[in-house]
């Protein structure tokens, strides 16, 4: 009745004339009020009644009114229009109350239950309290509706299923739970491609003990004074999968094999990835290969040969076994099966050393962290978390693959000028200027023009790596751009290379399949087909989704693991990885878990405590007590399942309270 009242409309217009009209993101406080964040420097108060019309993360347009309260001016935002709702498609858990159905979104910042209805393809009786579902937001209060309302569109799993972290995470990101299927036996394509017969050469594969999708094999020999010739043979799924076929389309959509803790979803049908294409020992397999001659200083000869071939792997070796033997022939419990394989390993280790030296001098090598593997029961319980450090055999394979990828990148660039490239530009101009300021404050003088060149970036990285701590390196890394997938060649600053394109994992990466087809076109003297930018963007997005999914499942598993440790007072060594106004983010060295230390655990008097994200330091009474990259000891205080967070407490020291 009052909605179209002329007097009310006139009053609103008068109020607006004295107010600002702004856009921003809603930030909710647990006490019921909120803030409209317009920029990192500007935010406006949202009172509790107005917060009922919005939720945390909504992008809204609001009227900001100025009030005088206690002789102070107060700026209050009144949201009026939804621009982008925080929730659209989301996952959550079922709640039943007063014969009505609600869904609680599985979001760290959201606790409100949203009333919902069920899609026609889901039986209402099948849903129980706590079950996991997918829903879509249908009504928003700022869109002319009185309340939030959602529709349940997909059932994920029951509340009792202990494997829910995997199924919920895959559903959240709309990722497949199973690999593509192969409806009929796959025959090789007639590619009009002559294959060299290398089946008598003693190729070997080196992988983890349980690897089934084996995609690379190596053979090496001495071909002159201080010269090595390496043949890298790569599994060839494009010999079976034609362009735009059903399998090719499915692989294109997935873009990558999705590796999650204790579980992976293959990009290709497992009959192909684990059997037909896998370079299993004693099985004749088609491959795409390259032959590279390397001098004693690690420089590859310009005459790199790419060709199609047949190989038969002599044996499937395991990283740890090979590393043990190369570390100490006498003490190793494992020995190569014969002198031929022993010779191969010795020469490959020599290649590793000279190529590693070449990359230190001509490119970049970053310091690495161990990978952490969850040991899981069949029901998803975390039995243990083990650190897996990269060893000699891992580096042998890495150096061989990087060398082969560099050679392919140069060939594709020179022949076609297109392909699927991994590109990283280091800094853009704006971030370079910020980096230069930070560097200058720590006694390193440079300029933004220099560090935005490949050689300038290399020099900077080597200088940072030579410092006694990684503090400054950490501070600078936050200004760097992310790597991208591009169809045109470009530098990879992170690797310190002029150009980089992978083709060595076609079983697991669709971009490598694309590059295989382009390399085959070069071998046959044909014109290649340039991949679309849409494909590159899709692969970039899928890579991001897969990484987020892996992190989310890991978060759940860490929570399960630490639930058993809370209260034990066990001490953990941890690295400070970030500083925020609220406290410290740390990474436990023993198992890789990320935890949070609230500022109240650092010092009891808040006025005496300064936590600076920009500087990466914590001060008490103007004395620096913590810096990013510092190592500290902590105990686990609590595990919060609702916010997916592990709360730690620093072990008392001279400056703690």
Has residue 361 been placed in a domain?
A: yes
| Statement: residue 18 has pLDDT above 60 | no
Per DSSP bridges, beta strands 149-157 and 114-118 are parallel
Cβ–Cβ < 8 Å for 621, 590: no
From 84, 99, 121, the end of a domain falls on 84
Does 616 lie in the same domain as 506? no
Q: How confident is the model at residue 1 (pLDDT cuts 50, 70, 90)?
A: very low
Does 466 lie in the same domain as 339? no
High-pLDDT (> 70) share of the chain, %: 95
- pLDDT score of 32: 84
Has residue 170 been placed in a domain?
A: no
User: Average pLDDT, stretch 109-133?
Assistant: 85
Number of domains forming the structure of the chain: 5
| Statement: residue 3 has pLDDT above 60 | no
| Statement: residue 7 has pLDDT above 70 | no
Out of 216-220, 633-637, 652-656, which region has the weakest mean confidence (pLDDT)? 652-656
User: Greater confidence, 581 or 11?
Assistant: 581
Q: How confident is the model at residue 11 (pLDDT cuts 50, 70, 90)?
A: low
**Domain containing 148 — which CATH number?**
2.40.50.640
Cβ–Cβ < 8 Å for 246, 290: no
pLDDT, tens digit, for every residue of 128-185?
Answer: 899 999 999 999 999 888 889 999 999 999 999 999 999 999 999 999 999 998 877 7
Global pTM reads: 0.90
**Domain containing 641 — which CATH number?**
2.40.50.140
From 526, 551, 576, the end of a domain falls on 551
Does 356 lie in the same domain as 279? yes
| Statement: residue 9 has pLDDT above 60 | no
| Statement: residue 297 has pLDDT above 90 | yes
Has residue 310 been placed in a domain?
A: yes
pLDDT, tens digit, for every residue of 81-91?
Answer: 999 999 999 99
Does 133 lie in the same domain as 44? no
Does 333 lie in the same domain as 319? yes
pLDDT, tens digit, for every residue of 609-625?
Answer: 999 998 999 999 999 99
User: Average pLDDT, stretch 19-44?
Assistant: 86
Does 336 lie in the same domain as 381? yes
Which tokens sit at 136?
């879509």
Has residue 429 been placed in a domain?
A: no
- pLDDT score of 226: 87
| Statement: residue 514 has pLDDT above 50 | yes
Identify the residue whose tokens are 């090789």.
188
Does 594 lie in the same domain as 636? yes
Does 380 lie in the same domain as 291? yes
User: Average pLDDT, stretch 481-490?
Assistant: 96
Helix intervals (H) in 377-447: 392-415, 429-441
Total Cβ atoms within 10 A of residue 123? 9
**Can you give 104-144 as a three-state secondary structure string?**
EECCCCCCCCEEEEECCCCCHHHCCCCCEEEEEEEECHHHC
Known catalytic residues are 207, 213, 215-216, 319, 508
CA triplet 194, 197, 202: central angle to 5 degrees? 145
Total Cβ atoms within 10 A of residue 160? 9
- pLDDT score of 438: 94
Cβ–Cβ < 8 Å for 227, 294: yes
Q: How confident is the model at residue 71 (pLDDT cuts 50, 70, 90)?
A: low
pLDDT, tens digit, for every residue of 530-559?
Answer: 999 999 999 999 999 999 999 999 999 999
Angle between helices 533-563 and 510-524 (to 10 degrees): 140
Out of 12-26, 267-281, 351-365, 553-567, which region has the weakest mean confidence (pLDDT)? 12-26
Cβ–Cβ < 8 Å for 203, 233: yes
Q: Is 316 helix (H, G, I), strand (E, B) or coil?
A: strand
Among residues 515, 504, 520, the alpha carbon closest in space to that of 306 is found at: 520
- pLDDT score of 89: 95
Has residue 261 been placed in a domain?
A: yes
Q: Is 238 helix (H, G, I), strand (E, B) or coil?
A: helix
Out of 248-257, 399-408, 462-471, which region has the weakest mean confidence (pLDDT)? 462-471
| Statement: residue 121 has pLDDT above 70 | yes
Does 541 lie in the same domain as 456? no
Has residue 409 been placed in a domain?
A: yes
From 161, 181, 206, the end of a domain falls on 161
pLDDT, tens digit, for every residue of 563-609?
Answer: 989 988 899 999 999 999 899 999 999 999 999 999 999 998 989 99
- pLDDT score of 255: 97
| Statement: residue 15 has pLDDT above 80 | no
Q: How confident is the model at residue 4 (pLDDT cuts 50, 70, 90)?
A: low
Does 606 lie in the same domain as 539? no
Among residues 334, 316, 317, the alpha carbon closest in space to that of 325 is found at: 334
Does 606 lie in the same domain as 632? yes
Dist. CA 632–CA 654, nearest whole Å = 13
Does 329 lie in the same domain as 413? yes
Cβ–Cβ < 8 Å for 636, 584: no
Has residue 172 been placed in a domain?
A: no
Domain that holds residue 124: 89-161
High-pLDDT (> 90) share of the chain, %: 81
pLDDT, tens digit, for every residue of 212-225?
Answer: 999 999 999 999 88
Cβ–Cβ < 8 Å for 79, 64: no
DSSP string, 496-553: TBS-----S-TTTBHHHHHHHHHHHHHHHT-PPPPPPHHHHHHHHHHHHHHHHHHHHH
Which tokens sit at 42?
């500007």
Q: How confident is the model at residue 17 (pLDDT cuts 50, 70, 90)?
A: very low
Has residue 488 been placed in a domain?
A: no
């Amino acid at each position: 009745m009052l909605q179209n009242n002329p007097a009310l409309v006139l009053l609103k217009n008068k109020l607006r004339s004295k107010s600002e009209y702004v856009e921003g993101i809603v930030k909710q406080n647990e006490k019921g009020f909120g803030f409209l964040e317009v920029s990192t420097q500007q935010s406006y108060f949202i009172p509790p009644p107005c917060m009922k019309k919005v939720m945390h993360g909504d992008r809204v347009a609001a009227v900001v009114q100025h009030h005088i309260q206690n002789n102070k001016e107060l700026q209050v935002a009144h949201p009026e229009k939804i621009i982008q709702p925080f929730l659209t498609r989301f996952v959550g858990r079922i709640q039943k109350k007063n014969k009505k159905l609600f869904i609680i979104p599985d979001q760290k910042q959201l606790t409100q239950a949203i009333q919902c209805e069920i899609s026609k393809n889901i039986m209402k009786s099948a849903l129980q309290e706590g079950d996991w579902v997918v829903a879509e937001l249908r009504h928003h209060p700022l869109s002319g509706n009185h309340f939030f309302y959602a529709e349940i569109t997909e059932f994920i799993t029951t509340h009792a299923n202990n494997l829910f972290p995997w199924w919920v995470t895959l559903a959240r990101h709309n990722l497949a739970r199973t690999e593509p299927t192969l409806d009929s036996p796959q025959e090789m394509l007639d590619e009009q491609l002559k294959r060299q017969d290398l089946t008598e050469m003693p190729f070997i594969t080196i992988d983890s003990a349980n690897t089934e999708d084996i995609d690379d094999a190596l053979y090496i020999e001495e071909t002159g004074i201080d010269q090595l010739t390496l043949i890298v043979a790569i599994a060839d799924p494009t010999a079976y999968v034609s362009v735009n076929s059903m399998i090719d389309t499915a692989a294109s959509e997935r873009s990558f094999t999705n590796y999650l803790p204790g579980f992976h979803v293959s990009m290709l049908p497992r009959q192909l990835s684990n059997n037909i294409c896998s370079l299993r020992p004693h099985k004749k397999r088609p491959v795409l290969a390259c032959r590279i001659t390397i001098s004693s200083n690690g420089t590859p000869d310009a005459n790199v040969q790419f060709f199609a071939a047949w190989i038969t792997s002599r044996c499937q070796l395991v990283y740890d076994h090979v590393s043990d033997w190369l570390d100490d022939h006498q003490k190793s419990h494992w020995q190569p099966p014969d002198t031929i394989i022993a010779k191969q390993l010795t020469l490959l280790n020599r290649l590793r050393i000279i190529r590693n030296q070449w990359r230190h001098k001509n490119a970049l090598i970053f310091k690495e962290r161990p990978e952490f593997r969850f040991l899981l029961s069949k029901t998803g319980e975390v039995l243990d978390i083990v650190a897996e450090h990269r060893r000699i055999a891992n580096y042998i394979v890495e150096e061989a693959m990087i060398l082969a990828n560099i050679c392919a990148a140069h060939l594709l660039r020179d022949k076609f000028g297109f392909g699927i490239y991994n590109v990283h530009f280091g800094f853009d101009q704006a971030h370079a200027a910020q980096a230069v300021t930070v560097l200058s404050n720590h006694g390193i003088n440079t300029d933004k023009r220099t560090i935005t060149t490949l050689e300038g970036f290399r020099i900077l990285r080597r200088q940072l790596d030579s410092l006694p701590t990684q503090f400054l390196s950490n501070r600078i890394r936050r200004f760097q751009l992310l790597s991208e997938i591009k169809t045109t060649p470009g530098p990879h600053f992170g690797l310190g290379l002029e150009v980089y394109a992978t083709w060595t994992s076609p079983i697991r990466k669709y971009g490598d399949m694309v590059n295989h087809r382009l390399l085959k076109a070069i071998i046959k003297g044909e014109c290649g087909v340039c991949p679309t930018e849409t494909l590159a963007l899709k692969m970039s997005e899928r890579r991001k989704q897969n990484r987020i999914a892996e992190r989310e499942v890991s978060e759940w598993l860490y929570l399960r693991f630490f639930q058993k440790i809370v209260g034990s007072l066990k001490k953990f060594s941890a690295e400070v990885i970030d500083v925020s106004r609220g406290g410290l983010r740390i990474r436990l060295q023993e198992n890789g878990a990320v935890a949070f230390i609230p500022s109240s655990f650092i010092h009891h008097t808040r006025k005496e405590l300064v936590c600076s994200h920009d500087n990466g330091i914590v001060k008490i009474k103007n004395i620096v007590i913590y810096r990013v990259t510092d190592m500290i000891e902590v105990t686990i205080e609590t595990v919060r399942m609702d916010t997916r967070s592990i709360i730690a407490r620093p072990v008392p020291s001279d400056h703690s309270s």
